[in-house]
Amino acid sequence: MISRLDLTARALFQDAKGGQMIFAPHHLAIAAALQSVATGGIRRLIINMPPRSGKTLLVSQMFPAWVMGMNPRAEFILTSYSATLATNNTYVVRELMRGGMYQYLFGENGAQVAQDSKARHFFKTVSGGQMYAVGTGGTITGFGAGKMSGEPFGGCILIDDPAKPDEAQSEIMRQGVIDWYCNTLQSRTNSPETPIVLVSQRLHEDDLAGWLLGGGTGEKWELLKVPAITSTGESFWPDKFPLEHLTRMAESMPYMFAAQYQQDPAPREGALFRPGKIDIIDAVPADIVWVRGWDLAATKNAGDYTVGAKLGQKDGVTYIADLQRTQGGPEDVERLIVQTAQLDGCRQSIPQDPGQAGVAQMNYLSKKLQGLSFSFSRETGDKATRAEPFAAQVNVGNVRMVKAPWNDALLNEFRVFPYGRHDDIVDACSRAYNELGTTWNYKELL
């Protein structure tokens, strides 16, 4: 018998598929969390991770087979948005348990599938264990999960993607999933100690995972969150999801990517900004006060941009006239700032990084910008707080934008801020707006 889930999964996968199961770091984290469920360390677990990244294989197939190998009396209920998917996964578990490798690993003391288990959605073991599949919204009369308190870990409720992505935007459909969980599914535990595990991609801020994490049932849920692009700007699974591929998805489908891949869903109309309120114009009025705000990328390879946003104000209206972006190295960034400042003829507001490196960069750029209007200042507060004054103007319709190729990038980033992959444009616009708001000497700016 193998007591580690990841090792069991490797052996069973090799036997069933004839190939090696590759474990990425997030797979090991999932296996460790599920083992903690089996040992009593976690009673309520949510795993949020991108699609097609191995969640069903580990959670809905390997985990129940592994548990039944150690306790053939274990009882599982497996549910998914589709009864067919839940049924197919239950059938896979049954076939794994009938395989030669499974019998070799767990021997005669492991679970033996009862001979009369013919249905694909349900099977029993000769020791009294069982696994039952049901689609979201289905009936579960007569079936339960887990064993009474005091016994070894005896199974749990597994929820694998309770909602379809194309239905999650419907408030009626989302509430239907929550109601079914409350009124039907959670009552199917055979003991207060029976765990419940939810594994899914995030689809909406008010989906089942969001509702539970927000205290919907009054229970504390442990969260294992797996974003596709990590906090260090790397792919969570480079062999299958190259960073370039993920970055393209983030740019082209920001709302979907923020939710399903980064596990940070944002409302379509924008979490902080309402970009639909921005009017697009062909030209700006004359005699406008301009400031360009900059946001500097931390590193060249993290996927972030250095952005310079040119904003102006007149008669209570803020105008976005130009956007400059680069993903180049330090020399490219410095060249872009200097050339842009020379062409703009307006003040450049540049963030100063803390530490000696920030001082050195400030001194170097100051020499390059001699004769031009510029200022350096350190960022204070978090990004959302800095963006709030500008967002307030956007949301009441006081912001207009010149029609240009960069419009879509700006609107997409505004729409998902602060949940999206990038926030460089927001940071640059916020800096420019806040600089305008604190500098009212128009002659000096001009």
Looking at the structure, tell me whether residues 53 and 161 fall in a common domain. Answer: yes
Worst-scoring range by mean pLDDT, 201-215, 252-266, 384-398? 252-266
Looking at the structure, tell me whether residues 32 and 172 fall in a common domain. Answer: yes
CATH code of the domain in which 22 resides: 3.40.50.300
What is residue 73's predicted lDDT score, i.e. its pLDDT? 92
Average pLDDT over residues 5-17: 90
Looking at the structure, tell me whether residues 169 and 300 fall in a common domain. Answer: no
pLDDT band at 419 (very low <50, low <70, confident <90, very high): confident
Max mean pLDDT range (74-83, 134-143, 268-277, 388-397) = 74-83
Length of the chain: 446
Looking at the structure, tell me whether residues 215 and 296 fall in a common domain. Answer: no
CA proximity to 419, closest of 297, 236, 259:
259
What is residue 210's predicted lDDT score, i.e. its pLDDT? 95
Average pLDDT over residues 359-374: 85
Looking at the structure, tell me whether residues 185 and 312 fall in a common domain. Answer: no
- Residue 354 pLDDT exceeds 80: no
pLDDT band at 297 (very low <50, low <70, confident <90, very high): confident
Residue at a domain's end among 226, 261, 288: 226
pLDDT band at 274 (very low <50, low <70, confident <90, very high): confident
The pLDDT tens digits for 214-244 are: 999 999 999 999 999 998 999 999 999 999 9
| E strand segments, 304-436 | 306-314, 317-326, 347-351, 374-377, 399-402
Per-residue tokens: 182: 């409350």
CA proximity to 146, closest of 44, 232, 24, 28:
44
The pLDDT tens digits for 36-74 are: 999 999 999 999 999 999 999 999 999 999 999 999 999
Q: In this structure, is residue 57 part of a structural domain?
A: yes
440 vs 67, more confident: 67
Domain that holds residue 368: 275-445
Looking at the structure, tell me whether residues 201 and 319 fall in a common domain. Answer: no
What integer best gives the mean pLDDT of the chain? Answer: 89
pLDDT band at 317 (very low <50, low <70, confident <90, very high): very high
Worst-scoring range by mean pLDDT, 318-332, 336-350, 355-369? 355-369
Report the alpha-carbon distance of residue 336 to residue 204 in Å, rounded: 38
- Cβ–Cβ < 8 Å for 288, 319: yes
CB burial string 319-329: b at 16+ within 10 A, e below:
bbbbbbbbbee
Sheet holding 75-80, edge to edge: 122-124, 130-135, 75-80, 157-160, 196-200, 44-48, 222-225
Q: In this structure, is residue 233 part of a structural domain?
A: no
What is residue 5's predicted lDDT score, i.e. its pLDDT? 92
What is residue 250's predicted lDDT score, i.e. its pLDDT? 83
Average pLDDT over residues 276-290: 93
77 forms beta bridges with: 132, 157
What is residue 151's predicted lDDT score, i.e. its pLDDT? 73
What is residue 357's predicted lDDT score, i.e. its pLDDT? 61
- Residue 439 pLDDT exceeds 60: no
Task: State the Cα angle at 126 between 120 and 130, rounded to 5°.
Answer: 45
In percent, the amount of the chain with pLDDT more than 90 equals: 62
CB burial string 399-417: b at 16+ within 10 A, e below:
bbbbeeebbebbbbbbbbb
Looking at the structure, tell me whether residues 313 and 406 fall in a common domain. Answer: yes
Q: In this structure, is residue 266 part of a structural domain?
A: no
CA proximity to 229, closest of 178, 198, 264, 186:
264
Report the alpha-carbon distance of residue 347 to residue 372 in Å, rounded: 7
Worst-scoring range by mean pLDDT, 281-295, 340-354, 397-411? 340-354
Looking at the structure, tell me whether residues 188 and 321 fall in a common domain. Answer: no
Per-residue tokens: 418: 């602060």
Looking at the structure, tell me whether residues 309 and 204 fall in a common domain. Answer: no
Looking at the structure, tell me whether residues 195 and 339 fall in a common domain. Answer: no
Residue at a domain's end among 207, 226, 245: 226
Per-residue tokens: 9: 């999964």
What is residue 442's predicted lDDT score, i.e. its pLDDT? 33
Average pLDDT over residues 381-390: 87
pTM of the entire structure?
A: 0.71
Looking at the structure, tell me whether residues 283 and 221 fall in a common domain. Answer: no
Looking at the structure, tell me whether residues 60 and 164 fall in a common domain. Answer: yes
Per-residue tokens: 193: 């100690």
Q: In this structure, is residue 215 part of a structural domain?
A: yes
Residue at a domain's end among 164, 198, 226: 226
Cβ neighbour number for residue 211 with a 10 Å cutoff: 19
Give alpha helix (H) positions in 223-303: 243-252, 254-256
Q: In this structure, is residue 296 part of a structural domain?
A: yes
What is residue 303's predicted lDDT score, i.e. its pLDDT? 66
What is residue 268's predicted lDDT score, i.e. its pLDDT? 65
With tokens 């079914």, the residue in question is: 180
pLDDT band at 446 (very low <50, low <70, confident <90, very high): very low
Domain count, the chain: 2
- The residue type at 415: R
What is residue 440's predicted lDDT score, i.e. its pLDDT? 39
| E strand segments, 249-297 | 279-281, 289-295
Q: In this structure, is residue 362 part of a structural domain?
A: yes
- Cβ–Cβ < 8 Å for 55, 30: yes
Per-residue tokens: 129: 């264990």
Non-local CB neighbours of 416 within 8 Å, separated by 6+ positions = 254, 255, 258, 266, 270, 271
What is residue 269's predicted lDDT score, i.e. its pLDDT? 63
Q: In this structure, is residue 43 part of a structural domain?
A: yes
The pLDDT tens digits for 88-100 are: 999 999 999 999 9
- Residue 432 pLDDT exceeds 90: yes
CATH code of the domain in which 410 resides: 3.30.420.240
Q: In this structure, is residue 246 part of a structural domain?
A: no
175 vs 298, more confident: 175
How is residue 24 annotated by DSSP?
Answer: P
- Residue 213 pLDDT exceeds 90: yes
